[in-house]
Chains A and B, each alone.
Chain A
Amino acid sequence: MSRFFPAKTRRSPFRPLATLIAIGAAIALNACASSPVALRGTADLATVIARASGEVAILDTSNKQFTGIIGGLGDLSHASIVYARDGRFAFVFGRDGGLTKIDILSHEIVARTLQAGNSIGGAISQDGKLVAVANYEPGGVRVFDTETLELVADIPTTIDGGPDRSKVIGLVDAPGNRFVFSLWDTGEIWIADFSAGNTPSVTRYQNIGIQPYDALITPDGRYYIAGLFGEDGMALLDLWHLQSGPQRILDHYGKGEERLPVYKMPHLEGWAIAGKRAFVPAVGRHEVLVIDTETWQEVGRIPVHGQPVFVMAHPDGRHVWVNFSVPDYDTVQIIDTQTLAIDGELKPGTGVLHMEFSPRGDQVWLSVRDDNKVVGYDPYTLKPIAELPLPSPSGIFMSDRAGRIGL
């Protein structure tokens, strides 16, 4: 399969792509469900979203080339991907409410449903049987069977029992076949527990703070943390001790200081924990915050190049990488997690939207939107290892996410 997407022969990102789409279509026509797929593992594969063309490219990080591309995925202007537990199938959440199951080996769409009008992301359950989507319109969470994409449960986020609904953000999976998510409009955290079957029991926590904009769960699945846009601080829910309810952390941060206009919402997915320190993007400030994960107190602020969007830890924990919002998104900075100093900087091109490390950290891949390319680096030498054309790339998702809580 890898031979039909040779990176070296591609010059313009668009013309070869059209050819490839044609080839891809031809292959899709030839391939039926029983078509043989070259025997190989998926642990070195990643999916890369091409946001403007509604496609997902499959990146082979061993051979450093795309092995295929899957089109017809709708509006991917804000899209994300989770993996089935076998690491072969992936679920693509589109902006337009599209939920698509793809096969990253055969490069085919396995199932697709337009499940809402406007969506922001999703999660897969601990047992791999349920895939949940966070919806803006109509506000709520819809849960589907991962085999068939048939609707299993619908959880509308109604406001005071009326017709209005809140937008849902920060949907993650939690241990015990639970989904946890936050409500932008009403400042709540909800837990939908599917451990007893397909009819969830839903727990609501109200008054967690104004306008939670994104959330994450720690890699052990214990703490769910929602960032707040409408006020300073974050809401922390300890899933081991739910009776304590959500606690406010970092609420002193930025008090009395005027923050900058926030040109792009920071992302908390991919939260960086190195040792017992966590690194999070500050909202509306050119800073990365450092938090002690035992006390949840702020222990440092690192001045950076612009407003951070993603703060991602290298798998070895020695460094965290930071990218920035417009107009500073030509730069990536690398922070030493021991000294908290900026230890390196890259200028890969305009519009660096996302970064993803290979599972053991020998590579890092960056999507550079306006230069229509995906660039791989050796994170130790900061030397480029590959540059692959792809129109308007955004999220990059390594298949090892299949085995990780909260991703």
Chain B
Amino acid sequence: MRKLHKTIGTLVAGWTFLVAGPAVASELQEHARTPSALEQMVRQDCGSCHGLTFKGGLGSPLLPENLENYSVEDLSSIILDGLPGTAMPPWRAIISESEAAWMARYLKTGGSK
């Protein structure tokens, strides 16, 4: 029994390691933002270009009806890697993949978390 626990422990540790990935990602995980911090970031920092109400600005509008044709994965990848040729920057250095997915879901559902 003790051995089984130990094996599970090792497996869990290994899995955590795989998910966390390289050093940058694990650093982000340690500083993972809370939902309210993420909401603040989407509203305020993304809102600098897209508008606090997501009706657009220099950046495109991000209301649910504008995002119907984009999946959460599409939007996450735009957030993380940017859109070359536009002012949309890649945020990968300061936003994790799970945070980007949270933001994508938040936008697609019109601000519900």
Residues of A at the B interface (CB closer than 8 Å) are 51-52, 75, 77-78, 95-96, 117-118, 120, 136-137, 167, 169, 184, 211, 213, 229-230, 261-265, 326-327, 351, 369-370, 392
Partner-A contacts on B (CB < 8 A):
40-41, 43-45, 47-49, 51-53, 55-58, 82, 85, 87, 89-91, 93-94
A214 to chain B, nearest CB (A): 10
A213: B residues at CB distance < 8 A: 58, 87
Given contacts A264-B45, A326-B94, contact A184 B58 (CB under 8 A): yes
When chains A and B are docked, how far (Å) is the Cα of A383 from the Cα of B43? 32
Q: How far is the CA of A77 from the CA of B55 in the complex (A)?
A: 11
Asked whether, in the complex, the Cβ of B94 is within 8 Å of the Cβ of A77, the reply is no
Known: A78-B51, A261-B82. 4 other contacts (CB 8 A): A95-B51, A137-B56, A262-B87, A264-B48
Contacts of A184 in B (CB 8 A): 58
- Bound Cα distance from A293 to B49, whole angstroms: 31
Report yes or no: A118 in contact with B57, Cβ–Cβ below 8 A.
yes
With beta carbons under 8 angstroms apart, the residue of B44, B87, B91, B93 that contacts A211 is B87
Number of A-B residue pairs having CB atoms within 8 Å of each other in the complex = 70
Bound CA–CA A213/B94 (angstroms): 23
User: Are B51 and A229 touching (Cβ within 8 A)?
Assistant: no
Nearest-CB residue, chain A, relative to B81: A261
**Contact between B57 and A78, CB atoms less than 8 A apart:** yes
Given known contacts A136-B58, A326-B45, A77 and B89 CB-to-CB distance under 8 angstroms = no
B100 to chain A, nearest CB (A): 14
Cβ–Cβ contact B57 & A263, under 8 A: no
Instruction: State the Cβ distance, B63 to closest chain A Cβ, in Å.
Output: 13
CB distance from A169 to the nearest CB of B (A): 8
B residues near A265, Cβ cutoff 8 Å: 48-49, 58, 87
Task: Please state if A392 and B44 are interface contacts (CB–CB under 8 Å).
Answer: yes
Which chain A positions have C-beta within 8 A of B47? 77
Given contacts A137-B56, A184-B58, contact A261 B91 (CB under 8 A): yes
- 7 smallest CB-CB distances across A and B, nearest first, come from A77-B52, A261-B89, A326-B45, A261-B90, A77-B47, A327-B94, A262-B89
With CB as the reference atom, state the residue of chain B lying closest to A350: B40
The residue in chain A whose Cβ has the minimal distance to the Cβ of B61 is A118
B43 / chain A contacts, CB cutoff of 8 Å: 52
Subset of 20 A-B contacts with CB under 8 Å: A51-B52, A52-B44, A75-B51, A77-B51, A77-B57, A95-B51, A95-B52, A117-B55, A118-B56, A120-B57, A136-B57, A136-B58, A229-B87, A261-B90, A264-B45, A264-B48, A264-B49, A265-B58, A327-B94, A370-B44
B112 to chain A, nearest CB (A): 19
Q: Is the pair A96, B55 in contact by a Cβ cutoff of 8 Å?
A: yes
Find out whether the CB atom of A263 lies under 8 angstroms from the CB atom of B87.
no
A396 nearest CB across to chain B (Å): 17
Are the CB atoms of A78 and B44 closer together than 8 Å? Answer: no
CA distance A247 to B98 in the complex (A): 46
A229 CA to B56 CA in the complex, in Å? Answer: 19
Which of B40, B48, B87 has most chain A Cβ within 10 Å?
Answer: B48
CB-CB under 8 A from A118, the residues of chain B are: 51, 55-57
B93 x A261 contact (CB < 8 A): yes
Q: Which residues of A contact B49 (CB under 8 A)?
A: 264-265
